[in-house]
Amino acid sequence: MTKIQTLDEFKKIKNVEFGLIVVCNKTNTLHQSNCQTLKDEDFTKSEYYWFATISLAEKSFDVMVCDSCKPEQSIVFVATTVF
């Protein structure tokens, strides 16, 4: 688990489109790093954590999956295309 400390880090992670971001405020929501609903201006309102895989994120937090980017579906898709 890596806490995203600065807005610069947050922007970089979104640009590389790798891994997952958990947004922690009232609920913990799991997103793909490039999710459209992750906004720079919201960065100070929540805590953001970066994870390489969904299983790592789920071990650390009780997460809800984002309706917009649907991280679980896309990870399966990526895995099947790689192998």
What are the residues binding Zn ion (CB under 5 A)?
A: 31, 35, 37, 66, 68-69
* Shortest Å, Cβ 80 to Zn ion: 21
* Shortest Å, Cβ 19 to Zn ion: 13
Residue 3 structure tokens: 């806490």
Place of tokens 């309102």: 45
Contact 20, 50 (CB under 8 A): yes
* Shortest Å, Cβ 66 to Zn ion: 3
Residue 51 structure tokens: 């994870």
* Residue nearer to Zn ion on the CB measure, 7 or 34: 34
